[in-house]
């Protein structure tokens, strides 16, 4: 769907844990093969079923620190006692080749990218749960966390939600299919913004030049 006449987009999806951002990010990459998923580096140990380089690039705190020191991370944050960060090189390569890249990150990382040199390439989307009770239900149903971990995530959710107004688009995820269709519409519209189309000014000039040769 994406041509080579524009820079790629940095699509930031943020939400409290359990509100749906990871599912929505994965759906975007399935919908359009030109959208890549930004695989974060993390010091968190892998959960059952997770693979190195697919869900995350798992690394030691020392390795993570080296990435930060060398400027190889576009953003980084500490979440639930573990470090997370987005490698810079894949992002730069993607947007220059007209590929969009989607980030499943919290508000801290989103703010860093939105304030970076890629600010004009960035589209920020915040996903809200329909209710706090539903958010807890979703966290418990997914079965990834202990009851204590769920409680911690619920506490963190309050702080996360407070940053909703920092985002360009804010969606209430009542229904995952409807929310995904809305996100698709946002991406399609953002791709067509005038400043993102590299060749449009040249095409307009060609149209204007045609007036010189048009037969009266």
pLDDT tens, position by position, 163-197: 999 999 999 999 999 999 999 999 999 999 988 88
What is the β-pairing status of strands 122-128 and 10-14? parallel
Sheet with 73-79, edge to edge strand ranges: 57-58, 41-42, 82-87, 73-79
Q: How far is residue 40's CA from residue 103's CA, in Å, rounded to a whole number?
A: 8
Average pLDDT (20-32) is 95
Mean pLDDT within 93-115: 92
Mean pLDDT across 39-48: 93
Q: In sequence order, which ranges of 32-175 are alpha helices (DSSP H)?
A: 61-69, 88-96, 107-114, 132-142, 147-161
How far is 181 from 208, CA to CA, in rounded Å?
A: 37
Residue with more model confidence, 158 or 143: 158
Task: Check: pTM over 0.75? Answer yes or no.
Answer: yes
pLDDT value of position 55: 87
The shares of helix, strand and coil residues in the chain, as percent rounded to the nearest 5, are: 45, 20, 30
Q: Which two tokens stand for residue 7?
A: 């820079």
Listed residue (49, 42, 50) closest to 86, CA to CA: 42
pLDDT at residue 75 is higher than 90: yes
Comparison of pLDDT for 196 and 16, the residue scoring more: 16
Average pLDDT, the chain: 91
109-130: string of b/e by CB count within 10 Å (b at 16+)?
bbbbbbeeebeebbbbbbbbbe
pLDDT at 73: 95
Residue 32: name the closest of 5, 14, 6, 8 by CA: 8
Q: In what order do the strands lie in the sheet with 100-104?
A: 35-37, 100-104, 10-14, 122-128, 169-172
> Which of left, alpha, beta for 53 (phi over 0: left; psi -120 to 50: alpha)?
left
């Amino acid at each position: 769907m994406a041509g080579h006449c524009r820079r790629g987009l940095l699509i930031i999806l943020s939400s409290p844990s359990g509100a749906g951002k990871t599912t929505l990010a994965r759906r975007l990459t399935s919908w359009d093969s030109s959208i890549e998923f930004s695989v974060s580096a993390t010091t968190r140990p892998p959960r059952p079923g997770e693979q190195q380089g697919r869900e995350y690039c798992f690394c030691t705190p020392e390795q993570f620190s080296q990435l930060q020191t060398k400027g190889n991370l576009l953003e980084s944050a500490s979440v639930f006692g573990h470090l997370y960060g987005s490698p810079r090189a894949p992002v730069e390569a993607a947007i220059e080749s007209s590929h969009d890249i989607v980030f499943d990150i919290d508000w801290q990382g989103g703010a860093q990218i939105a304030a970076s040199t890629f600010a004009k390439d960035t589209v920020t989307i915040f996903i809200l749960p329909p209710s706090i009770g539903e958010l807890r239900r979703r966290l418990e149903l997914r079965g990834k966390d202990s009851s204590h971990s769920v409680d911690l995530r619920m506490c963190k959710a309050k702080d996360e939600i407070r940053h909703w107004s920092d985002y360009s688009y804010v969606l209430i995820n009542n229904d995952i299919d409807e929310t995904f269709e809305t996100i698709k519409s946002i991406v399609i519209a953002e791709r067509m913004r005038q400043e993102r189309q590299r060749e449009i000014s040249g095409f307009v000039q060609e149209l204007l030049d045609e007036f010189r040769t048009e037969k009266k």
